[in-house]
Structure 1
Amino acid sequence: MKDKLSAVAKTFSPSPIQQLSHLAQRRNAINLAEGFPDFPAPSLLKSAAVSAINSDFNQYRHVQGICDRLAKIVKDTHGLEVDPLTDITICCGQTEAFAAAIFSIIDPGDEVILFDPSYETYNACISIAGGVAVYVALNPPHWTLDNEKFLKSFTSRTKAVVLNSPHNPTGKVFSKDELEVIATACCTNDCLAITDEVYEHITYDNTKHISLASLQGMQERTIITSSLSKTFSVTGWRIGWAIAPTAIASAIKNIHVRITDSAPAPFQEAALTALESQPQFFESLRQVDYELRRDFLARILAEVGLCIQFKAQGSFFIFAEIPEECLLSDVDCVRKLIEEAGVVGVPGCGFFHSNKLVEVGADNFYQKRYIRFAFCKSDDTLAAAAQNLQEFVNKAGAFDRSESVKC
């Protein structure tokens, strides 16, 4: 029946990440691959969801209170004036919000600039819409924006730039100077921006997240997408949103209704409770819950022989580099960790698209030299992973020893 598939469907196939996930499940490996917390969501949120279910909020529903609250938050946090009635759409997670945004603005042949590495869902949505992804490499080890390459990537067909900050997989938070370059380019080339800000509350070491929409001239050309998932440890609730200029927001809302109709009703009610959280919740999330976990896992990975050249500024990922002495690819290194240490990460090649870079002379070497690890895990999970990795080092040697990599 493969001949019945659409041309777009045929472009998608299982990735090495999916295949390694199956191996990890068979080996019962400790999951440091997937970006979801394995500890409980805040009790107040769960109680609110249970209360909503018991109150029979179980049918199609749009909770306007969420939009009202979001409008206040973006006003207080970023100084943006947003109409909660016309400019906000509640979606089934950030993923749907992003897809609806792409489908609202992209025609076949339109180009969309993505930063490399990037989350693979972006390219998938662009492809489905018939658009063309144009990749601009961020420069390791600090994943800085190359202004010259970025500006050269614009053409007469450029319709939008996608910005994910804090960034998955690297943990980079784009600086004010970098955002200014992006904003100026969007205004000069009269193109839109779509931002993925799901990690906006998860930043470290006094690093500040700045929304691109808050820069001069950008609110009227920016679609903000975000969700509850990461901040409140509810990735399975599928509550996200898109905030956009009124005409685009209307199109996003129409597409959302035709795809999913509405986001889960009881979780929308609980979302309102989440969005009313006190500032100390977010401070604890950054400094107590995640910053300590980041530092703990970074030390353990360094003991295994992986290089931590960049300390994550945000998100909850460590993008660890495989040392030059190691003869294995990222996929083989992850397989080795699964089979010999019982710990799984994500090979970095799943995030790189350097072979599709438009600019001449892009260095493709680094795309298979990284592994992403998630530290949004319970203390028990991280302690178990640390023990397994230490035993792996004692038994097999670290990755920088030649006898351990010729397997």
Structure 2
Amino acid sequence: MAGRSPGTGTAYVASHRVKATSPAIIDELLQEYGGRVEYNLGAGSAGFDAPQSVAATFVSASCSSERKGKLESFCGYGDVAGDADLRSHFTQKLVEQYGADPFGDLGVIVTAGANNAFVTAILGCTDVGDEVVVPSPFYFSHEMVLQTHGVQMVRSPRLPPAMLPSVDDMVARFSPRTRAVVLTSPCNPTGAVLCKSECQRLLRACRERAIWLIFDAAYEHFVYENGTGDTSDGLPLPCASDGVMYLFTMSKSYALAGIRVGFLVHPPHMTDQLLKVQDANITHPTRFSQHIALHVLRSSTSSWHAQHRSYLKQIRDRLVELLRPVVPTLNCPHGAFYLFIPLPPGTLDAEAAHFLARTYGLLLIPGSAFGTLALTNGDTQYLRLSFAKLTLTDTETVAARLRAGLSALSQRPSPRKLDVKTV
């Protein structure tokens, strides 16, 4: 008879892979502090409203004289690859956004957000025991996917203070078991943007060894300037390249995290194999979500993205200006909507996060959730701050509280010794 799981009284237990997987710390912090902090700076979701066409789509679907036909189409099974109109319009958008037909023949699968796209990509190109090289810090969900599927993450430390990945270090970590490299640019959690020339150099190294390059473009519309010399808005790699898969999402750029629509762009010879994974997993996103995504893509414009990007850049610039006096090494990120804040020496990130939440009403995420222990300067720990939901007025208040909190932390070797009060 199988042994009982300690403390549960049952022999029916989770798999070793799942039990060994690190939990999403953001969920734990939100559960503890979500309703008790004044400023939730942990969630990586957009603060601006979704396009107005979303409301119009709901009204049209519920009140149209064609309602019966629409409901039938929403409730029935669809194409596992996603609705044809949505895939076609998304492909058209890519061509319009990134130049005169740089894509050629490509495959597009509609997914339930970028996380689902990543799962499908990983299951489509790796086997249990394979290795995937990932610059660290990284998006924590990527680690969870690799752990739950029995794939070994090989961490390549980013280089402080800009937190750029090192192509040379990533390539040095290739082994006969390496099947893929995951590159997120702009990066969650650091906002780092890898320049075009370095992306191309990494792609050449991967091609020489038949290693997949999985490019997470979740923050494609949040590149603020050409800070590394030759970075351009948009994708730094040719999308139709053999050996490259791209992850896109409607969650960030269109503020549609709740509808769960993303896209996996891939070489066409992989379509049949990837559809096996998708069919066995979610089959396809809801038809209604795809209907909303189609109308948003049809109605949105580049100026709409530019407007929100410009506002977020103001928030970023002001935060960096206000925090630099107490955090001289704070990096100004060139993309996404996060600050990755180095803590005073000897300060533990988890303890600092609890201290700031309880004392100053600020919820930030410990950097260790994103793999900071692989950094070359392991003595320094970090907190991730999302400024996506801040207004300019909020920015002043948040910066003042954070300066006070970081100053308090710098005066003691450990936040455990600090007195905790309530805001």
TM-score greater than 0.5 by the shorter chain: yes
> In the TM superposition, what is the alpha-carbon distance from 1:231 to its structure 2 partner?
0.2
> In the TM superposition, what is the alpha-carbon distance from 1:264 to its structure 2 partner?
2.1
Matching of residue 208 in structure 1 with residue 229 in structure 2? no
Which digits, 9 at most, give the CA deviation of each residue in 1:257-283, with x for residues without a partner? 221122122221221222232221121
SS in 2 for 1:275: helix
> In the TM superposition, what is the alpha-carbon distance from 1:308 to its structure 2 partner?
5.4
Moved more, 141-150 or 117-126: 141-150
Which digits, 9 at most, give the CA deviation of each residue in 1:379-399, with x for residues without a partner? 2xx634643653575699544
Structure 1 distance, partners of 2:373, 2:409, is: 25
Which digits, 9 at most, give the CA deviation of each residue in 1:214-248, with x for residues without a partner? 18xx7111111111100011111100010111132
Residues 394, 198 of structure 1: alpha-carbon distance in 2 compared, 3 angstrom cutoff: closer
Decide whether the 8 Å contact of 1:52 with 1:269 is kept in 2. Answer: no
Decide whether the 8 Å contact of 1:183 with 1:212 is kept in 2. Answer: no
Residues 389, 144 of structure 1: alpha-carbon distance in 2 compared, 3 angstrom cutoff: closer
Residues 301, 2 of structure 1: alpha-carbon distance in 2 compared, 3 angstrom cutoff: farther
Matched AA of 2:42: A
> In the TM superposition, what is the alpha-carbon distance from 1:36 to its structure 2 partner?
1.0
For the aligned residues, what is the CA RMSD? 2.6
1:373 to 374, 381, 385: 385
1:9 to 9, 14, 18: 18
SS in 2 for 1:198: coil
Q: Unaligned regions of 5+ residues in structure 1, if any?
A: 356-361
The corresponding residue for 1:330 is 349
Structure 2 distance, partners of 1:13, 1:123, is: 8
> In the TM superposition, what is the alpha-carbon distance from 1:250 to its structure 2 partner?
2.3
Decide whether the 8 Å contact of 1:24 with 1:338 is kept in 2. Answer: yes
- Normalising by structure 2, we get a TM-score of 0.84
SS in 1 for 2:190: coil
1:282 to 280, 289, 305: 305
Matched AA of 1:24: Y
Decide whether the 8 Å contact of 2:315 with 2:395 is kept in 1. Answer: no
- Counterparts of 1:287-298 in structure 2, within 5 Å, are 287=310, 289-298=311-320
> In the TM superposition, what is the alpha-carbon distance from 1:144 to its structure 2 partner?
2.7
- Counterparts of 1:165-180 in structure 2, within 5 Å, are 165-180=185-200
- Counterparts of 1:353-392 in structure 2, within 5 Å, are 354=373, 363=376, 365-366=378-379, 369-379=381-391, 383-384=393-394, 386-387=396-397, 390=400
Structure 1 segments of 4 or more deviating over 4 A? Answer: 391-398, 402-406
The corresponding residue for 1:20 is 29
Decide whether the 8 Å contact of 2:48 with 2:389 is kept in 1. Answer: yes
Moved more, 67-76 or 390-399: 390-399
Matching of residue 40 in structure 1 with residue 49 in structure 2? yes
The corresponding residue for 1:161 is 181
Decide whether the 8 Å contact of 2:121 with 2:274 is kept in 1. Answer: yes
Structure 2 distance, partners of 1:301, 1:395, is: 11
Structure 2 distance, partners of 1:257, 1:52, is: 27
SS in 1 for 2:257: coil
> In the TM superposition, what is the alpha-carbon distance from 1:130 to its structure 2 partner?
2.2
Residues 245, 396 of structure 1: alpha-carbon distance in 2 compared, 3 angstrom cutoff: closer
Identical-pair percentage? 24
SS in 2 for 1:214: coil
- Normalising by structure 1, we get a TM-score of 0.87
Residues 338, 152 of structure 1: alpha-carbon distance in 2 compared, 3 angstrom cutoff: same
Structure 2 distance, partners of 1:395, 1:193, is: 40
Matching of residue 318 in structure 1 with residue 339 in structure 2? yes
Structure 2 distance, partners of 1:90, 1:40, is: 23
Decide whether the 8 Å contact of 1:106 with 1:129 is kept in 2. Answer: no
Structure 1 distance, partners of 2:16, 2:304, is: 47
Residues 121, 13 of structure 1: alpha-carbon distance in 2 compared, 3 angstrom cutoff: closer
The corresponding residue for 2:5 is none
Matched AA of 1:286: R
Structure 2 distance, partners of 1:178, 1:240, is: 26
The corresponding residue for 1:109 is 129
The corresponding residue for 1:240 is 262
Decide whether the 8 Å contact of 2:37 with 2:363 is kept in 1. Answer: no
2:74 to 54, 58, 64: 58
> In the TM superposition, what is the alpha-carbon distance from 1:306 to its structure 2 partner?
3.8
Decide whether the 8 Å contact of 1:195 with 1:223 is kept in 2. Answer: yes
Q: Unaligned regions of 5+ residues in structure 2, if any?
A: 1-9, 419-423
> In the TM superposition, what is the alpha-carbon distance from 1:213 to its structure 2 partner?
3.8
Structure 1 distance, partners of 2:387, 2:395, is: 11
Decide whether the 8 Å contact of 2:339 with 2:384 is kept in 1. Answer: yes
Structure 1 distance, partners of 2:177, 2:402, is: 51
> In the TM superposition, what is the alpha-carbon distance from 1:353 to its structure 2 partner?
5.7
Matching of residue 400 in structure 1 with residue 400 in structure 2? no
Decide whether the 8 Å contact of 1:33 with 1:344 is kept in 2. Answer: yes
Matching of residue 30 in structure 1 with residue 49 in structure 2? no
Matched AA of 2:268: T
> In the TM superposition, what is the alpha-carbon distance from 1:115 to its structure 2 partner?
0.6
Matched AA of 2:315: R
SS in 1 for 2:258: coil
SS in 2 for 1:27: coil
The corresponding residue for 1:359 is none
Residues 16, 97 of structure 1: alpha-carbon distance in 2 compared, 3 angstrom cutoff: closer
Matched AA of 1:253: L
SS in 2 for 1:88: strand
Decide whether the 8 Å contact of 2:372 with 2:381 is kept in 1. Answer: no
> In the TM superposition, what is the alpha-carbon distance from 1:189 to its structure 2 partner?
1.0
